[in-house]
Structure 1
Amino acid sequence: MTLWLTRIVPDTRSPQARHDLGDPIGTHRRIMSLFPSDAGPDPRARFGILFRTEDTPTGPHLLVQSTYEPDATRLPDGYGTTVTRPLDALLDAIRPGLTIRYRCAASPVRKPGATTRALYNLPPVVALTGTAADEWWLRQADNSGIKPLTHHSHPLDAVRGQRRPTGAPPQNIRHARTQFDGTAAIIDTGLLRQAVLNGIGRGKAYGCGLLSIAPARQTS
């Protein structure tokens, strides 16, 4: 199985691109349009699709990771430019003890038990920020087979939108997000591969959870 990474650089002169960049539901639908439509009830999971929007000095970019090569010709004319490359060499190179750089824009949450929810009038899912989000990330990193050596986090705008399932009432979507960056030592390659393939946390259909890694630059 080959893992693919596609970078889409939207052209902000394109009305479709501008619309998608301002609408997480639109972005999700646009990305899903690049893959076969006859993939069953959960095509995102079947094709291992994860994505993240990144702000760069030249404007926003979309990073799309998948186990199926997307068909960039399905983008509207003038939507932007795309580059797709396999990540097999990167995954084959990871080994215990290797120092990597990581980035993950995730949705840290906790799910309090029924007693705690009733006592403090809490919702079923509580978004985490600040120190609580950092502690969440360190637990996720441990479960992903890496030991953070350096760590930086900063909050991102929440993902907001409204899904309109066929035959069901509209559903409001909100995922608070924090971006985590740093370096880490690889402890367990199997766990790390699974985290890269499957993503971390919730909100994966709306731009959360993609774990990007790269070998750390060696300094003399």
Structure 2
Amino acid sequence: MTYLSRIRINPLRKDSRKLLSNPRAVHGAVMGGLPNHKPDDRVLWRMDPDNPHRPHLFVLSPTRPDWTHIIQDCGWPDADGDHAAVRDYTPLLSQLAVGREFAFRLTASPVQNTATPTKATPSQAARLTAHAEDGKRIRGFRMGHRTAAAQLDWFLTRTDRWGFDIPATRSDPTAPGIHTPAPPTAPHPTSPPGPDPNPPYEVRITARHRHSFQKNGHGAHVVFRSATFEGRLRITDTDRFTTSLLTGLGPSRAYGCGLLTLAPLPGQQT
């Protein structure tokens, strides 16, 4: 059985500030709440700091968790309300069907593989030199996309394999009584009339970050970029979509990327 948890974080506490600044610390705290975790179990999490006064940590786990340690160290242990809401994921999975639409949020790490990095790090430069000397073909480097346009393109070109698509932006008719002037007519149109071949889609990037930290505080240096996508999706393949929800999207899943969460659209019944 799979569980989705939402944990309130108090940003004023010392341990909370560590969680909010270091994905490695969050990973350790999350794994500490899963006593029955197995090595091959997939655990996904995401920190949502959009409300700076009350961030939320979301966790998708294959076993029922216990978040007492996070509540005690990083929450409001004596305050009213749900400190950690833990819900069975099965009811949501049972609602999935082709054509069903949901609002969504996803923090992912958009990457590309290239054998010719624009600004090679010292270790990458050493590898390039070594392979040039021995004449062997070098394996591509995984590089994070830096621009919002590239990150959005990365997302949109992968939705089919993940079992959904992003509908084109809806255009509502003008309200009665409001006059909208007609656009000027070009005397010699450069393209034939017809639908826009590249319509805007129901998705936007709401946050972009560069993460840099050391494993265990003194180990290998980890650097990656993340982008948070929000919008509306439509299921195209139930099996693929279910797999995407349960296993995550893209790389850096241990560090807060890959968890796709859903919510009903306005007026939609759950």
Q: Same fold (TM over 0.5)?
A: yes
Shift of 1:55: 2.0
Shift of 1:37: 7.0
- In the comparison of the two structures, how many residue pairs are matched? 206
Q: What letter corresponds to residue 237 of structure 2 in structure 1?
A: D
- Alpha carbons of 1:132 and 1:77: their partners in 2 closer, same or farther (altered >3 Å)? closer
Contact 1:100 1:213 in 2 (8 A): yes
Return the alpha-carbon distance in structure 2 between the equivalents of residues 12 and 151 of structure 1.
29
- Alpha carbons of 1:131 and 1:38: their partners in 2 closer, same or farther (altered >3 Å)? closer
1:125 corresponds to:
142
Unmatched tracts of structure 1, length 5 or more: none
Return the alpha-carbon distance in structure 2 between the equivalents of residues 179 and 21 of structure 1.
15
2:74 is the alignment partner of 1:79: yes
Pairwise mapping of residues 191-202 of structure 1 onto structure 2 (< 5 A)? 191-202=240-251
Identity of aligned residues (%): 26
Shift of 1:102: 1.4
- Alpha carbons of 1:181 and 1:76: their partners in 2 closer, same or farther (altered >3 Å)? closer
SS of match in other structure, 1:19: helix
Pairwise mapping of residues 67-106 of structure 1 onto structure 2 (< 5 A)? 67-75=62-70, 77-80=72-75, 81-106=83-108
Contact 2:105 2:262 in 1 (8 A): yes
2:83 is the alignment partner of 1:66: no
Return the alpha-carbon distance in structure 2 between the equivalents of residues 136 and 12 of structure 1.
32
Say what the alpha-carbon RMSD is for the aligned residues: 2.2
Return the alpha-carbon distance in structure 2 between the equivalents of residues 160 and 63 of structure 1.
21
- Alpha carbons of 1:186 and 1:170: their partners in 2 closer, same or farther (altered >3 Å)? same
- Alpha carbons of 1:88 and 1:37: their partners in 2 closer, same or farther (altered >3 Å)? closer
Aligned equivalent of 1:186, options 235, 245, 255: 235
- Alpha carbons of 1:178 and 1:170: their partners in 2 closer, same or farther (altered >3 Å)? same
Which 4+ stretches in 1 moved above 3 angstroms? 120-123
2:34 corresponds to:
35
Q: What letter corresponds to residue 267 of structure 2 in structure 1?
A: Q
- Alpha carbons of 1:12 and 1:152: their partners in 2 closer, same or farther (altered >3 Å)? closer
Contact 1:159 1:206 in 2 (8 A): no
Pairwise mapping of residues 45-60 of structure 1 onto structure 2 (< 5 A)? 45-46=40-41, 48-57=42-51, 58-60=53-55
2:208 corresponds to:
156
TM-score (norm 1): 0.84
> Which structure carries more strand by proportion?
1
Shift of 1:181: 1.0
Shift of 1:75: 3.3
SS of match in other structure, 2:245: helix
Return the alpha-carbon distance in structure 2 between the equivalents of residues 83 and 188 of structure 1.
29
TM-score (norm 2): 0.70
